[in-house]
Amino acid sequence: MMRIASIAHNTFRESIRERMLSIALLFGFILMVSTYALSPLAVGAKQKIIMDVGLAAISILGVLTAVLLGSTLVHKEVDKKAIFMILTRPISRLEYLIGKYCGLVIAIVTMMAVMTGVMVVMILSGRGQLTPAVFAAVYGALLETVVMGAVVIFFSTFTTPILTMLFSLGIFVMGSLSNDLRIFAQRYGGEAMKLVTGVLYYLLPNLQVFNLRHEAVHDLHFRGIDLLNASLYAALYCSVILFFSYMIFRRREFL
């Protein structure tokens, strides 16, 4: 456990120093401030615009940061031959991957926490109300990002950073639309399309289960059991993805 914590701590420090994290925070701050400045154009919907765009920015920038940072975590150390020094120590490849993943998640959580704080300040300064649905939506966005972080780690174990980013973004888009594609195929597609969309539905992460922005913006009721199920689903999916990541990584030869 101490070895995993050490790798996670070093990964977190490296991720915080990366320009990508600073750019993401700056972009998110500018986006939220711009929304706050333009929101008076929509009479009676000021807080809804701030909340909607703020939650969307937290979700999207969280995923993009996971992709941008995670795609280079393993490749950078392989390219610099630093991984030889790490793996010659009493550290297994499984501990290495889990440590990298945990460090990435901690960096992302830090970024999302800062952005959430900015959004909360903007809502309160506009005399808006913070409902439990708002924090539930942020938690859902965090689960979504954690799942995507595991997907990025998976691709980074066997391909280049560019391909890792492309594959991960493709998974994000398809995972966000998998349920809609399945419904469309069931209504209008043939047997082949139904089979393909059905397989993709169960293989890809169903990211729609983490999306509670609609409930937060319109102050709708949400069930606590849904958050619990989403948490269990995220934990199970990440465990499976990290297991397959390890199975690939342990067979990889470093030249």
Mean pLDDT value across residues 90-94 = 78
Q: What is the pLDDT of residues 201-224, one digit of tens each?
A: 788 888 888 988 888 877 777 788
pTM attached to this predicted model: 0.86
Residue of 182, 46, 190 whose CA lies nearest to 125: 46
3-state per-residue secondary structure call for 39-103? HHHCCCCHHHHHHHHHHHHHHHHHHHHHHHHHHHHHHHHHHCCHHHHHHCCCCCHHHHHHHHHHH
Q: What is the pLDDT of residues 112-126, one digit of tens each?
A: 888 888 888 877 876
Residue 170 phi, psi dihedral angles, 5° rounding: -65, -45
Model confidence band, residue 24 (pLDDT cutoffs 50, 70, 90) = low
